[in-house]
């Protein structure tokens, strides 16, 4: 149960956020079109929920290995060189996530003014921007998790099946 919660954490959060922001937008449209009344906080809150949705979705995409990669150049290189380039790409991506975790943490907790408020909702922008360090930390942890599974070979059968399918699609 706990393993399923951990493995699907971002999925559950994304589902909730998607339902929340689409419901808010739907209610706003109904209120505006049928009752000629605009709900002042709806658009701003929907935007913030959508931003959180995107960041959690990026972490989820890492977990299910759904990020796009450019790898056509690998077919012209020897397999040992390809392996080195793939490892370098993974290390660079991990370093990027760690660096942006550091930058966003520093911004939210050290440089951001506590008194910055959102326009219509009136909550502190720290709560809105808090998604950045959370998301980059989650992306880093998911990246490590996925690569540890690759290294341990638990994903070897799945990778072989995906590679076989991709080969068939390319020919």
DSSP label at 171?
Answer: -
Query: Could you give the angle at the alpha carbon of 101 between the alpha carbons of 8 and 68, nearest 5°?
Result: 55
Its pTM surpasses 0.75 = yes
pLDDT band at residue 44 under the 50/70/90 scheme? very high
Q: How far apart are CA 47 and CA 117, in angstroms?
A: 15
Residue 4 has pLDDT above 90, yes or no: no
Q: Which two tokens stand for residue 94?
A: 């991990």
Dump pLDDT digits (tens) for 61-87: 998 888 888 878 888 889 899 989 989
Q: State residue 169's pLDDT score.
A: 44
State percent of the chain over pLDDT 90. Answer: 60
Torsion of CA 66, 72, 77, 80, to 10 degrees: 0
Q: What is the dihedral of CA 93, 99, 12, 62, to 10 degrees?
A: 0
Cα–Cα distances (Å) from 38 to 29, 46, 49, 88, 122, in that order, read 8, 14, 19, 51, 17
- pLDDT higher than 50, residue 3: yes
Q: What is the mean pLDDT of residues 27-49?
A: 93
State how far the Cα of 64 lies from the Cα of 43, in Å rounded to an integer: 31
Task: Name the H helices within 2-123.
Answer: 2-7, 9-35, 42-63, 79-106
* Range scoring the smallest mean pLDDT among 38-42, 58-62, 119-123, 153-157: 153-157
Residue 166 — very low, low, confident or very high, per pLDDT cuts 50/70/90?
Answer: very low
Residue range 121-164, pLDDT digits in tens:
999 999 999 999 999 999 999 999 999 998 888 555 555 555 55
């Amino acid at each position: 149960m706990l393993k399923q919660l951990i493995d699907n954490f971002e999925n559950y959060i994304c589902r909730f956020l998607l339902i929340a922001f689409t419901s808010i937008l739907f209610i706003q449209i109904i209120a505006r079109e049928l009752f000629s009344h605009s709900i002042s906080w709806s658009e701003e809150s929907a935007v913030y929920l959508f931003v959180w949705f995107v960041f959690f979705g990026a972490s989820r995409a890492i977990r299910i290995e759904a990020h796009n990669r450019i790898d056509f150049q690998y077919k012209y290189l020897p397999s040992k060189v390809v392996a080195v380039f793939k490892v370098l790409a993974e290390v660079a991506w991990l370093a990027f996530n760690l660096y942006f975790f550091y930058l966003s943490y520093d911004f939210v907790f050290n440089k951001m003014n506590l008194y910055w408020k959102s326009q219509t909702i009136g909550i502190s922008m720290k709560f809105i921007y808090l998604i950045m360090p959370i998301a980059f930390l989650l992306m880093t942890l998911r990246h490590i998790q996925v690569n540890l599974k690759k290294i341990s070979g638990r994903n070897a059968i799945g990778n072989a099946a995906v590679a076989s399918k991709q080969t068939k699609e390319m020919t």
